[in-house]
Amino acid sequence: MALKANLITEPNLLVVDDAAGIVNLEEIFGCPTAVELEIGSGKGAFLLQMAKAFPERQFIGIEWANAYAEYAADRFRRHGHANVRIVNAEALWWIRIHLADASIHALHVYFPDPWPKSRHHKRRLIQKPFLQQAMRILRPDAPLYIVTDHAEYFEHMRDALTDFGQFKLEPFTSPLHLVGGNFLVGTNFEKKYAAEKRPFYSLIARKPA
């Protein structure tokens, strides 16, 4: 179900043939300087702020839900942001087949689905296969930013990061800190949960230099 009728997803929706292999980021953006990736970008609220604040950087959002991906692509077209592409795919699969080693300057994961039931924990994004891919695609010294409202998932993430053992854990500083505002990352889920006064849990996991 589309969120809005008559969405125009060109030129911000990035469609890559499964067989195409590793994408050429230079070809996609024309001379990229610093490509950042958000997983589960939803309606694009975080990337919209980043694209405005940092026009010299490039951004890719991967979003599994077709309606959100199309809405976000249309939104970036309406705002004229040529430095953002939205991919409608399962993130781990797309990263594995399409992103080169050490190609990403920052990775953002905000309010990932918590899958609270024990029998669904295996569906959680933040675990070893994802951390392996994150370590592979991030450039040396590049950050993985994480924010969640879910205390138990946060503990699970910290355990997974500790077991993985290759990231340096740091306190969270908002990637939007230069822009100001009252939000950590300003996503739709953050705004909704802030209104409910939920606590947030956050960290930066940095790839070694």
**Closer by beta carbon to ligand SAM, 54 or else 189:** 189
Long-range contacts of 113-118 (CB under 8 A, 24+ apart): 113/40, 114/148, 114/150, 114/152, 114/153, 115/153, 116/150, 116/152, 116/153
Among residues 74, 113, 149, 159, which one is catalytic?
A: 113
Which residue has the closest beta carbon to ligand SAM? 40
Q: Provide the terminal-to-terminal Cα distance of the chain, rounded to the nearest Å.
A: 44
- 59 belongs to the binding site for ligand SAM (CB under 6 A): no
Which range of residues in 7-15, 17-25, 57-65, 137-145 is near ligand SAM by CB under 6 A? 57-65
188 contributes a contact to ligand SAM by CB under 6 A = yes
In this complex, which beta carbon is closest to ligand SAM, that of residue 112 or of residue 143? 112
Q: With binding defined as CB under 6 A, does residue 203 bind ligand SAM?
A: no
| Cα R_g (the chain), whole angstroms | 16
Nearest to 62 by CA among 96, 83, 79, 85: 85
Q: Exactly one of 23, 42, 105, 161 binds ligand SAM (CB under 6 A); which one? A: 42
Residue closer to ligand SAM by CB (options 40, 143) is: 40
**Residue from 7, 9, 12, 40 that binds ligand SAM (CB under 6 A)?**
40
Q: Does 139 bind ligand SAM (CB under 6 A)?
A: no
Of the candidates 157, 187, 185, the one whose C-alpha atom is nearest the C-alpha of residue 172 is 185
Beta-bridged to residue 134, according to DSSP, are none
- In the complex, minimum distance from the CB of residue 201 to ligand SAM, in angstroms, rounded to a whole number: 13
Identify the three-state secondary structure at position 54. Answer: coil
Q: 106 and 143 in contact (C-beta within 8 Å)? A: yes
Q: Is 113 considered catalytic here?
A: yes
The footprint of ligand SAM (CB under 6 A) covers 39-40, 42, 62-65, 68, 90-92, 110-113, 125, 187-190
